[in-house]
Chains A and B, each alone.
Chain A
Amino acid sequence: MSGPHLLSIADLGREGIEEVLRVTDAFVEVSGRAIPKVPALRGKTIVSLFYEDSTRTRLSFETAAKRLSADTMTFSVSSSSVNKGESLRDTVETIEAMGIDAVIVRHGSAGVPWQVASWLHGPSVINAGDGWHEHPTQALLDCFTVCRAANGLEGGAGFAGLEGRHVAIVGDIKHSRVARSNVHAFTALGADVTLVAPPTLLPPSLAGWPVTVSHDLDDVLPKCDVVYVLRMQRERMQESLVPSLREYTAGYGLTRERSHLLADHALVMHPGPMNRGVEIAAEVTAMPNCVITTQVANGVAVRMAVLYLLLGSGVDLVAS
């Protein structure tokens, strides 16, 4: 196996997460400059290998790589020989043969970044979302957003921003890589996490998950420091996981009425893309404590930090 990689939040642990957040803090400053570019990764080549549609994650990674002066290539499925039947392994080995330093992988099947890492000899692999499994950089940017909002970064003395905080993750946990990564990340940083969802949208087993579960959003909201709302896909209705989106919104949507139950300081977060009016009301997204666009902005700095730590600093971010 090559490396180092960023495959899973579970591999990072508290120290790994905090290291990324510390470096992110520095890159936020870079992003605010008139010319937001540093030469840290000049001469490095980074490939985005996206087998699934993605706007924000792909653009965020590419922006991050460019601000670090890396060369970037995008391999998107429609324009590639994958449509001619090329296997994942052949594709990966072809890309490696071009001489690259990192591959950012997004795939609809859980585990693909592990397979890619096992076939490569040199380049780092970054998991940009694998099936329902993990989306580590999303969790990192979410942690950063909470810590920053809570002023937990002062003096670089650790990340108290999530310690002892109550976080509710609301919605389709079962099919969510964001939820899986965020449960690991939030709890690693000391938060208490409550999953709020109908039983059909929870994983079949929560054995070993350091979370509590509720089916009563109204009961949970007043106690939250952070409410993290997940996207609700229309296709879940066809699978009889919920009878209708109307019924879902009535039970689990962050409606305007429900938002009044939130404490004044409570943050509202969403990984995007949103279904306004389904899992979150348009009015709620306009609330001052709704940090959804801050999440996107921080995403670039977090991904700069990840690329820098994996490719630039020579420091092992994660065990390879």
Chain B
Amino acid sequence: MVDATGRRGADVLLRDGIVVAVEPSLGASAGAGGGVTLDATGCVVAPGLVDLHTHLREPGREEAETVETGARAAALGGYTAVVAMPNTEPAIDSAAVVGQVLELGAGACCQVVVAGAITVGRAGKQLAPLAEMAALGVRLFTDDGAGVQDARLMRRAMEYASSLGVTLAQHCEDADLAAGGHMHEGEWSSKLGIPGIPAEAEELMVMRDLALSRLTGAPVHFLHLSTEGSLQLVREAKARGQQVTAEAAPHHFTLTAAEVAGYDSVFKVNPPLRTDADVAAVREALADGTIDAIATDHAPHPQEAKELPFDLAPPGMLGLETALALALTELTLPVEQVLALLAWQPARIAGLVADQGGPIVKGSAANLCVIDLAAEWVVDPAALASKSRNTPYAGRRLRGRVRHTVLRGEPVVINGEAQR
């Protein structure tokens, strides 16, 4: 068993959605009375993973994903909670849409919480009703898909949010500097003749929001940071004691812009795949604590959308079913640190510590995953539970696989099979 308190060998007894006993050996009688026994021999039992950045696409883009299919993919990936991004159609910018998505998530394979939009319609013009959404439990707000461009509006949002106990999360991208770009600007974009997005488009907004956070005293969370420069800015801000957290996506520590050479838009994502130096910087920032969480930016798109010419195809990649294995396979970090990045640190940022992220002790919520660290598998897009197939890792051999996932005491994944 591995959680924030460390590593130990134990049996766990769950009842009524709660951990009721954690003992070195509970014996066969513990499960008596119609209970289910899950075999975790040779596996790690961990708090369920928490994804800060999931595009569930519902409402509006159900051909790509639904709350039901996305949550199933999440559970298979070891997640017991996901934060649904608000760039739906309509956007999650009101209590009504928040309520609709929470309702859709009620019977899903994992806990579904939502991030609300900062501005009405994510249009960057007018503050969305943050307090009404916060009253329904929304703890993160973002216009993800785009950054809030207007510095004055972002300042107001931070000031307003600071009294609500919520956090604003920024998709860092200066829209003017990034305009027209479809991949990282540099050697590969120049060669391939694809308009580029410079790293500085991300870094400018990181700089601006660190300044606004200082001005307002409000915390800020940076979504999917991808450049060496952004990470250095966050590292310095943390050293100064600023209230800043950051996440990175698995594709930004495993893939570079060189992947675009074949013009397969499965490698189109925003922020774009960057350089070897940026990949190394993300790995370093994951290791030294500059980055607090690995977040998937799971962004399903139907095949026909990804078959458009590269510059016309929508950005985004699947992530929920591969994130844990990529972290275990590609990062040279101890399991405890990988799980901190995937479970208890994101649970804290999402404001979910009451139910998610462990530790696994008597009385805690029974949201767990069981991981076979040694299991090797090859990513097969056709075998994914997501409604879409746009994984950039087709054919990749990975190590580490989820065996069981338990949500509120119910096994939603048993031996790698979804139960709902």
Contact = CB atoms under 8 A, between A and B. Distances in A.
Given A110-B311, A111-B309, A114-B262, A206 B193 contact: no
Interface in A192-220: 203-209
Nearest to B198: A204
B307 A208 contact: no
A114 B191 CA distance: 15
B192 A205 contact: no
A121 B227 CA distance: 40
Nearest to B190: A203
Given A88-B308, A204-B185, A205-B186, A110 B191 contact: no
Contacts of A205: 185-187, 189-190
Contacts of A134: 193
B377 interface: no
A130 B312 CA distance: 14
B186 A109 contact: no
Interface in A106-130: 107, 109-112, 114-115, 130
Given A204-B186, A208-B187, A115 B307 contact: yes
Please classify how large the interface on chain B is, using the bins under 10, 10 to 19, 20 to 34, 35 or more.
Answer: 20 to 34
Contacts of B186: 204-205, 207
B272 interface: no
A2 interface: no
Contacts of B185: 204-205
A67 interface: no
A114 to B, nearest CB: 5
Contact of A206 (B190, B194, B308): B190
B301 to A, nearest CB: 14
A102 to B, nearest CB: 20
Q: Is the interface of A mostly helix, strand, loop or mixed?
A: loop
Interface string B252-263: 000000000011
Given A114-B263, A204-B198, A87 B193 contact: no
A234 interface: no
B310 to A, nearest CB: 5
Interface string B358-386: 00000000000000000000000000000
A222 interface: no
A130 B192 CA distance: 10
Please classify how large the interface on chain A is, using the bins under 10, 10 to 19, 20 to 34, 35 or more.
Answer: 20 to 34
A82 to B, nearest CB: 12
Contacts of A5: none
Contact of B307 (A89, A203, A207): A89
Contacts of A109: 309-312
A270 interface: no
Interface string B80-117: 00000000000000000000000000000000000000
B313 to A, nearest CB: 9
Most B-side CB within 10 Å, residue of A107, A130, A203, A209: A203
Nearest to A174: B190
Contacts of B196: 204
A231 to B, nearest CB: 16
B288 interface: no
A131 interface: yes
Interface string B288-315: 0000000000000000100111111000
Most A-side CB within 10 Å, residue of B185, B190, B192, B311: B190
B163 to A, nearest CB: 42
A289 to B, nearest CB: 30
User: Which 8 A/B pairs are nearest by Cβ-Cβ distance?
Assistant: A111-B263, A133-B193, A109-B309, A132-B193, A203-B190, A110-B193, A207-B187, A205-B190
Interface of B: 185-187, 189-196, 198, 262-263, 304, 307-312
13 contacts: A87-B307, A110-B192, A110-B194, A110-B310, A111-B310, A130-B193, A131-B311, A132-B193, A133-B192, A133-B193, A203-B190, A204-B189, A205-B190
